[in-house]
Structure 1
Amino acid sequence: MPWQTTRVSVNSQGSGVGGDIQVSARRINLDNNGDITAATQSTNGGNITVNVLDLLLMRHQSNISASAGEGQAGGNGGNITINAPKGFVVAVPREDNDVKAQAFTDRGGNVSITSQRRFGLEFREDDTPLSDITVSSRFGEDGTTQLNDLSIDPSRGLTQLPETPRIVELSEGCQVSDGKEAVQFFDIGRGGTPPRPDEPLNIDSYLIEWNQLDAEKSNSLSFPTITNITSNHENIRGKIFTPNWEIVKTNQLPTAITRMTAFCQSQ
């Protein structure tokens, strides 16, 4: 249903109440100052209902208006309802396409838009050169705006946070004894700091001695007494290394003995 430079109007230029408009179509194109208007000069604006199956497209200063008091007089703004639950509402942002239910001295009207997605039309407090949704009143109370984009769920993927702060219990770890330092600082020179491009490479800066571990703190591997050496391949269960690093086939599995020692010991 393309409308170009066409007006569907039930305006009231006098004291009469503005009428209502209801339009239903699969697709509506408003272009080149195309209007659907139920505005009034001095009384309440009319109500506009637009039902669209696929697309409502607004181009080049097109308007849907139910404003009241356009003659700087009284009257509440009318209500605009756009229903496109399976379709889209699109207005080119910089072409000044407006949906407005404004008033002058009385209350602004109400605008409700329901669609899968809405592009280009944004709610604003007053008219701008962009594509606006306005329900303001010059000297009265503003109206309301309800914008429902059905394809967007703001709560999708969000995690419900607890109402009360969570208390995290920290592990005590290593406790510092009385009179002992909690932190120690060692001045080891430039260790780890790369030289500047104009300095020679200092190898000593990168050499760190290995810490010697106590025998009791290290892991060990015990070798069983090799009494079941076999040449029968069917009975072979594994291979082990002897202390002399010789490989021996056996039908016994080695036993790994691991001694775990805490890093921190009581002072």
Structure 2
Amino acid sequence: MTFWKKASLFMTTALLALCLAVPAFAAGLTVKTSSISEDVVNVAVPYIAGSRGGSEVDDKVNGAVFDVIDGQLEALLPAADRPAFKASHDKGGTTSSRLAYHKELVKFTSDSVRKANSEVKTAASWYVRSEYEIKSASPRFLSLIQKTTTYLGGAHDNVVWTTENYDLATGNPVTLEDLFDPAADYKTRLTTLIGWQQTGVARLKQHMTGRAGAVVKPVQVTGNELFYVDKERNLGLVFNPGEIAPVSEGVILYDLSLNDFADLIKL
């Protein structure tokens, strides 16, 4: 039986009594925050306890979540410093060891960024900030967005969002394809829904401002898109700045109602 069927509640008969993979927030799962501020680096990262799969799954998921943000921080270090830091700090396999590694990495990255900033002439201070948003959470499923903004000189800061979705019975990542019936042509459906949104938004902007907005590339869903599932069991697709529109347009989100693809989900 799939995690969709195990995790969800029956919808009303008016909605054909369909069930989904993502339950609303439920008792049993705890989402905690590792919030560390070290001068120019400020990072908040979630970690969990009480998953359906127990403490081993908690550690597995927390390790994966920290891998995302720690990977971003490590990428900011000078190439010569990365091996030395990794050699002297052990990530380990438990949540406590990952918390300790992350804390030391944030401090090391802050020192590195501050030092690099002091060696260049710039009026603006460099910084790294990261926060998260839980889109849905239960003992069976977790969906979140990690939002990171960095400024290391140049004309503007850099914004990167990453989405993460986990089956909390196994600790395995959930892909977009996992949400749908194997025979369903979900890519075509989602592509069509996003196309309608793009057309509607462009029309409204033209009407409200009297001029055409920024050019947004048509989206052809491949299954590799960043996505989340919210607590109302709707689907969101995320495109980072510059991916389908000019960087100045920022992060672009397409929120898709369950009602528009419920006939395709995996039961």
TM class by shorter chain equals under 0.3
Higher-Rg member (1/2): 1
Higher relative contact order (CA 8 A, sep 6+): 2
When you count helix as a share of all residues, which structure comes out higher?
2
Q: TM-score, normalised on structure 1?
A: 0.21
